[in-house]
Structure 1
Amino acid sequence: MAKKNDWKNREGVVYSTNSDFDYAYQQQEEATTLSPQQQQLRVQLDKSMRAGKQVTLVTGFVGASTDLEALGKMLKSKCGVGGSVKDGEVLIQGDHRDKVVQVLIKEGYKAKRTG
């Protein structure tokens, strides 16, 4: 049974006169997570669209969203601050670029400070 708002996700099908027609939704498969040695992470400071507040932004992660959330949780606990994981990026509250780069390198990631 389709959910109430699933009709919004239909790509290209508007209406069918066939009474037996059942739209097959495309399932997006999770990307496989690369090993830490293959990851190219970039750590930068960002203040745009944040009311002047500084956040440390970690980008470039390739893999499943659950692995990215685990990385974000580990970085937040190591820095002792809050943050979030949105749109494939880890946001850490405050300017913690040096510490984040050190933690990532210690965990085996290829991390570079940019910006």
Structure 2
Amino acid sequence: MHKKSLADLGGLVYSTESGRMCPGCRQPVAQCMCRQNAKAQPTGDGTVRVSRETKGRGGKAVTLVKGVLANEAALVQLGKQLKAACGSGGTVKDGVIEVQGDHVERVMAALQKLGHRVVRAGG
């Protein structure tokens, strides 16, 4: 019978120096290259959809920007540009840029100026 070695089981799982280890790239989880490469590939059809929503926000309007083909850092930067163009606050959550207030027309104009293909979604 063949005795299983540590390499057969997938390698190091935990290290007292750096904590949990990634089984794919064998780096500490905080420095894992597998997860960074998986996040770096945005998907979509290339059309940016801009909509206005009030659900779950106490009746306050929020402008949503979905479908931007960019990684997380580029989305945060684009969000900053859009918030500055509208003169309001906002955030980036789960690949969606949220700008506080009803700024659909301003956001669409700013995105078209940056070279994106923009469509108004919703009503």
TM-score over 0.5 (shorter chain)? yes
Residue 21 (structure 2) pairs with residue 31 (structure 1): no
What is the number of residues matched between the two proteins?
A: 95
2:111 equivalent in structure 1:
104
Q: How does 1:58-77 map to 2 (within 5 A)?
A: 58-77=65-84
What is the aligned partner in structure 2 of residue 83 from structure 1?
90
Work out whether residues 40 and 111 of structure 1, in 8 Å CA contact, stay in contact via their aligned partners in 2. Answer: yes
Q: Based on CA coordinates, which of the two structures has the bigger radius of gyration?
A: 2
Consecutive unaligned residues of structure 2, counting only runs of 5 or more, are 1-5, 14-20, 25-33
SS of 2:91's equivalent? strand
Runs of 5+ consecutive residues of structure 1 not aligned to the other structure: 1-17
Which segments of structure 1 move beyond 6 Å, counting only runs of 4 or more? Answer: none
Higher relative contact order, chain-length normalized (CA < 8 Å, sep 6+): 1
Contact 1:33 1:67 in 2 (8 A): no
Q: Root-mean-square deviation (CA), in Å?
A: 2.4
Percent identity between the aligned chains?
A: 37
How does the TM-score come out when normalised to structure 2? 0.68
